[in-house]
Structure 1
Amino acid sequence: MLLPPPLAWLVDKASYISNADQFLSALGAGLIAEGLPLAGGALTLAAPHPIIARRVWLWRADTGAVIEALGFASLEGTKPDPASVGRDWLAGLGGGPLTATVAGIGPDAPLIEWAMSRPLTPEQSELTRQVARFAASPLATLTARATMASLLETYLGRRSAAQVLAGRLRRETGETIRAALLYADLRGFTELSEAAAPEAVVAALGAWFDRIAGAVHAFGGEVLKFIGDGVLVIFPVGENAPALACDGALRAVAAARAGMAHLDEARARQGLPPLPFGMALHLGEILWGNIGTADRLDFTAIGRAVNLVSRLEGLCRPLGRDVLISGVFAAETETPLTPLGAHALRGISEPCVVFALPEK
């Protein structure tokens, strides 16, 4: 039996496509070649993610463009209507009839929707039903890939997840990266843990990390590691000038400080104590890769720069500052800074020249 080209494509080639946007656009183009009057399409996949419930790809037949929309889980834990995003968008393409088919079994099965410029013939309607049937297998493969990537990014971060997905699963020398480093840590966390209920401690940690990570991601950084109540962040230099990475780090620090100020105000209204913190900035090279036992690995960063930035943060309390900056970092920025002299850091052979942000 000779299959129609779109179905043959789903059997022979679709499983090798790694991106949902490419899958949808190729499938839509194939159906148009068979004479279907498509105005656009939508593909909805479940997303195992802490805040994203659904990912929806929207394709326009006239331009071939694909955009992605996200369906967020509500704070109450209810799931959004899986079809609402795609259906509402497709309805705005011209008012033609819509058709939706589920490619698989279960509440989280992929959903394929099409907007038509005119009604379908019975043969064309049957083809769209067969498309959903034949698409179930390649979409299951695509969903599994997306699930793995999402889970790894959630627990490892985007950069480390990409390395694991690429097959770096053994202890090895690793990769040397030059980056602006940010190390941030809560002060008095031990006392907070002793005085507050565990639920309150977890809530405080979550609020603290939200302010740091949100600011970091907004300015091009990446969280490498949560260490108790501390966090290690990098702003990779890459092919850019070091000043760009340092500028992003300084902007992230400013945003995080503003976020923490608002958080402390909210906590004060609730009768809760503030969350004092320290942050340190440095520029240097880190060794980044798999460290651990033969069968239990951790993607992490080590090196003199990591040691220095963590020790520098430890000077925040003695020097009465919430942000300290190394001389190496300071040399790459034009931001006005206040010199605090050279200071010995525990475990670091040479004194570190230290700067601070100007006091307001």
Structure 2
Amino acid sequence: MDELINWILEEGRTSDDLGAIFKGISERLVAQGIPLFRTNLGMPTIEPTAALLRFEWSRDKGLASDALSPEASYGPEFQRSPIRYLLERNLLRERFNLEDPEVVRRFALFQDLRALGATEYALRFVTFSQGRTALRGAALSMATDRPGGFTEDEVEAVGRILPALSLVAYRIGLSRVAVETLGAYLGPQTGAHVMQGKIRRGDSQVISAALLLADLRGFTALVDANPGTEVVGWLNQHLECIGDAVTERGGEVLKFLGDGLLAVFPSDRIGTEQACRDAVRAAVDAGGRNTALNARRAAEGGPALDLSIALHFGDVIYGNIGTARRLDFTVVGPAVNEVSRMEVLGKALGVELLLSESIAHRCGHPVLSLGTHKLRGTTGMREMFALEL
């Protein structure tokens, strides 16, 4: 097994593809005479929409993998699983003879495996850390269809590779968590900048981008009149309408601002006009989704929240600001201030979507001038526009 252990460590040093490594381990164990029929590796993850990563290799079908939601990870199937059985009894390993009908009847998984010809199922936990993160370990299972099951020597041989597998799985798991967590809290593009080492205060660059600032009207009154948990649920639904519209058109939500958000559509790779078009389409789509959400909620007797959006294009400073040990990766500059003032003006004018001159004539959509207006905190007058319906 020394050669396989060295392979695991070398692959784990250079690759982030845990599925490919697990497939390679399973195939190499078979090549060394371990009669594997199916293997499974499950490990927790820390992501907004996933709680468990699952890799399954079978002799006939190869590798399959998926990321399970918290509900699927710890739902009824988990509650009636061999993994739950071991956890409740503080056991790290167990072997189950699937040629015994009494054993097969204990779990639905065993019945499925037995129907496929399996004769033994072995399960073992691999521990990672002592509680610093939720990545505390993984569950490794293997099944065989050879009559009589595994031998003790075969089980022990597989056990020899577990320290190497746990080290690699933990390293790859932490890397994935870092990427996914930063993407969730900062946005995927900004998170990638941080992962590349741009984490020092003052690390910044000037970029040209279309800016989208969205705000929900009437949210303060809603908070005052309803339980906090219900309000948070409603708010998340509205923010999802806006955020999904932004990301589907290449924009990135930089930050949530209580009952609104700030998003950017950088022009460096797609050009100024395309960035402006994408921002306008995202804004229109967000408005449509929000209207549909309000209609569904009204049908249920719930409250509605109207949406106010301002769009502007300009140069912004994109980078780290804050204290030495508490930073925010965001955009600042006159263009950010202006789009903020525009959103307030849009509410005063009763316009759901307000465009600055810098974006109105680049968005590829007919626009209607709303005249010139003074933006608080700025010099001069600014011509404002709305989309012509």
Deviation at 1:46, TM superposition (A): 1.4
Deviations 1:7-54 (A, max 9, x none): 122345524533434534554565577577889876433122232122
**2:320 partner letter:** N
User: Would you say 1:337 and 2:359 are equivalent positions?
Assistant: no
Query: In the alignment, is residue 278 of structure 1 matched against residue 278 of structure 2?
Result: no
- Residues 1-360 of structure 1: pairs in structure 2 closer than 5 A: 3-12=1-10, 14-24=12-22, 27=25, 31=29, 43-57=41-55, 69-74=66-71, 78=75, 81=78, 102=124, 104-105=126-127, 109-112=137-140, 127-359=157-389
Identity rate, percent: 32
Q: 1:63 to 1:177 in 2, by over 3 A?
A: farther
Match of 2:132 in 1: none
Structure 1 runs not aligned, ≥5 long: none
Q: Partner of 2:53: helix, strand, or coil? A: strand
Task: Report how many aligned residue pairs link the two structures.
Answer: 351
What do the CA deviations read for 1:181-228 (whole angstroms, capped 9, x no partner)? 111011232222222232232222212212111222222221101112
SS in 2 for 1:74: helix
**5+ residue gaps, structure 2:** 83-108, 129-134
Assess if the C-alpha contact under 8 Å between 1:57 and 1:69 holds in 2. yes
Q: What is the Cα deviation at residue 58 of structure 1?
A: 6.1
Q: State the TM-score, normalizing by the size of structure 1.
A: 0.80
Distance 1:221 1:111, change over 3 A: farther
- Contact residue 8 and residue 21 of structure 2 kept, 8 A: no
Secondary structure of the structure 2 residue equivalent to 1:152: helix
Greater mean deviation of Cα atoms: 289-298 or 246-255: 246-255
Give the RMSD, CA atoms, in angstroms: 3.8
- Contact kept, 8 Å, 2:126 with 2:140, in 1: the verdict is no
**CA offset digits 1:101-156 (Å, max 9, x no partner):** 54613996334567989999857665444333431122122222223333333322
My pick for the range that moved more, 68-77 or 303-312, is 68-77
Is contact 2:12-2:21 (8 Å) kept? yes
- CA spacing shift, 1:25–1:231, aligned 2, 3 Å: same
Tell me by how many angstroms 1:157 deviates.
2.3
Larger Rg: 2
Separation in 2, partners of 1:14, 1:309: 47
8 Å CA contact 1:100–1:111 kept in 2: the answer is no
